[in-house]
């Protein structure tokens, strides 16, 4: 089996409403704002951290732990555009501070392919944080980093949802 690459193979959208994150509909996903065309090449951050629960006993001779709560760190970094760049404006509008919605990610299918039934997707319930513009620099596009705060247990890469 060949290794999987990233180039052109990730679709990312900010979706305002999903009734069931285990099986979002193509209609719901298509109503979202596509982000991948505005994100910098490494502009998608999804990482999980696992807390531990100490389960050592009084008679233990070594420390031990079991898996505790998960914490997901989410964010996007996009390139700004002027008012004539309607795509960039749509991304900036969708990612308004305190907006609630879902970061939806599809991997391993060409990004220009529409959302359709049976596709496997990651769905992260989230609230938009405050934008952090990059510092000015020569020969650089204006980029903005936006943190997303995970608001509920997601359907992540190990437990993907199926598009209905």
- Give the CATH number of the domain where residue 70 resides: 2.40.30
**89 is a domain residue:** yes
* pLDDT for res 154: 97
* pLDDT beyond 90 at 83: no
> What proportion of the chain, given as a percentage, has pLDDT over 70?
99
The DSSP code sequence of 118-143 is T-EEEEEEEEE---EEPPP-TT---E
**Could you tell me the residue range of the domain that residue 86 belongs to?**
10-162
* pLDDT for res 6: 77
What are the tens digits of pLDDT across the range 116-134? 999 999 999 999 999 999 9
Q: How far apart are the C-alpha atoms of 52 and 65, rounded to whole Å?
A: 6
**103 is a domain residue:** yes
């Amino acid at each position: 089996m060949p290794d999987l690459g990233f180039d052109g193979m990730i679709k990312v959208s900010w979706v305002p409403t999903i009734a069931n994150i285990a099986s979002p509909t193509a209609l719901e996903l298509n109503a979202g704002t596509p982000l991948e065309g505005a994100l910098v090449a490494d502009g998608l951050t999804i990482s999980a951290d696992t807390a531990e629960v100490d389960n050592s006993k009084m008679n233990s001779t070594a420390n031990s732990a079991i898996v505790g709560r998960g914490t997901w760190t989410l964010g996007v970094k996009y390139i700004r555009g002027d008012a004539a760049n309607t795509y960039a404006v749509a991304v900036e509008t969708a990612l308004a501070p305190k907006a609630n919605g879902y970061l939806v990610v599809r991997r391993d299918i060409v990004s220009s392919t529409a959302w359709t039934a049976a596709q496997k997707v990651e769905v992260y319930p989230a609230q938009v944080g405050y934008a952090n513009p990059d510092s000015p620099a020569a020969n650089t596009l204006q980029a903005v980093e936006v943190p997303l705060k995970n608001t509920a247990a997601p359907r992540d890469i190990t437990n993907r949802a199926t598009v209905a």
